[in-house]
Amino acid sequence: MATVIPSRRHLLLAVILLLAPFLEDLYGAEGPRVLAERDVDILYEPSMETAAEESARVYPAIRKSLEKIFQWKIDFRPTVYLVRSHQQFLRMAGTEMVVAFALPSRKLIAIDYSKMSAHPFSIEVTLKHELCHLLLHERIPQSDLPFWLDEGLAQWVSGGISELIMPRKRSLLEEATLAGREVAIADLERRFRRERDSLLLAYEASKSLVDYIIQEHGQEKLLEVLGYLEMGYGPEGALEKGLSLSQEALEKAWHEDLRRRVTWIHFLISNMYEILFFLAALIVAYGFLRALAKKRAYLRQMDDE
């Protein structure tokens, strides 16, 4: 039986049909527009032509950068769906906690454009993060790609930025380390729990683990791990082949590094502004209560007189 290779038009039509329930509400009878560039299709609302052009303009440099980092050719054609309405994006994502997501099976990236002007997000950073997800899933079977590596690498290539809306100051990983609640790598291998704190901790731990591997073993060794994953070795086998280290030994060394770096002094310095603000609030509250007590004592004295 002959293999039928779908054309660009057929692939784009499949994506549009997939998104049809959302597109109808968003665009009405007019329908979305498509900016078809050489290597990417941008799906956008008619009033978002400038945003679509910006996305198309930055895409070649992003693709080239990822190809250089991973030494893999991006030979697929993604569709970038720019969603202007936050409520519409919320319907698609199902959570308030993300500003973008990728569907590897459809080569689709959906971006909440209403969040792209909020620090630290931008079209370029967000697109690079999500395209990294597509590239990893294109080269490595999903069953062999641990979530911590998938998410940790995407944060690493995008300068530490995830698609998750993270608290600016609070570090759940530091809090867990100080409390002796160590994060197991096994808990980061499959889909993360969706509870807010659990999800935040999983994202932060994934970034920390990838950063640790690069710091201790180098980028080349991490790329070797990816190569073994591509060959189907599985997570533990790829770590042993690429790092000459078992997953258990890697986890132990990572935890030791966290405990060495995250001390109470470090935690206090990192949260100095919050601590000072809290102490100032206590002083103000104490002063208010003292003034109130004095006022009541004065009124009682006046009543007695």
pLDDT digits (tens, 9 = 90+) for 177-189: 888 889 999 999 8
* Cα–Cα distance for residue pair 240/238, rounded to 1 Å: 5
User: Quick one: tokens of 49?
Assistant: 């032509």
Q: What residues pair up with 28 in beta bridges, in sequence order?
A: none
The structure tokens 């895409």 sit at 59
What confidence score (pLDDT) does residue 274 get? 55
Give the model's confidence band at 87: pLDDT under 50 very low, under 70 low, under 90 confident, else very high. Answer: very high
* Better pLDDT: 96 or 194: 96
Q: What is the edge-to-edge ordering of all strands in the sheet holding 79-83?
A: 33-36, 41-44, 79-83, 108-112, 100-103
Q: Which of 3-7, 27-31, 230-234 has the lowest mean pLDDT?
A: 3-7
| Cα 21 versus chain centre, distance | 26
Give the model's confidence band at 162: pLDDT under 50 very low, under 70 low, under 90 confident, else very high. Answer: confident
Give the model's confidence band at 284: pLDDT under 50 very low, under 70 low, under 90 confident, else very high. Answer: low
What confidence score (pLDDT) does residue 26 get? 52
Q: So what's the architecture of 7-139 in CATH?
A: 3-Layer(aba) Sandwich (3.40)
Cis peptide before 120 (omega within 30 of 0): yes
Distances (CA, A) of 179 to 44, 172, 244, 264, 270: 46, 10, 31, 10, 16
* Cα–Cα distance for residue pair 150/130, rounded to 1 Å: 10
Q: Which of 76, 69, 80, 77 is nearest to 127 (CA)?
A: 80
Query: DSSP labels for 233-297?
Result: --HHHHHHHHHS--HHHHHHHHHHHHHHH--HHHHHHHTHHHHHHHHHHHHHHHHHHHHHHHHHH
Burial 173-206 (b: 16+ CB within 10 A, else e): bbebbbeeeebebeebbeebeeeeeebbbbbbbb
Phi, psi at 96, each rounded to 5°: -80, -5
The structure tokens 């990838």 sit at 210
Q: Where are the domains of the chain?
A: 7-139, 163-262, 269-300
Give the model's confidence band at 169: pLDDT under 50 very low, under 70 low, under 90 confident, else very high. Answer: low
pTM, to two decimals: 0.78
Distances (CA, A) of 143 to 91, 118, 120, 232: 27, 34, 31, 9
* Cα–Cα distance for residue pair 128/99, rounded to 1 Å: 13
Q: Which of 261, 86, 274, 94 is nearest to 167 (CA)?
A: 274
When pLDDT is averaged across residues 8-18 and rounded to a whole number, the result is 53
- CB distance 213 to 257 below 8 Å: no
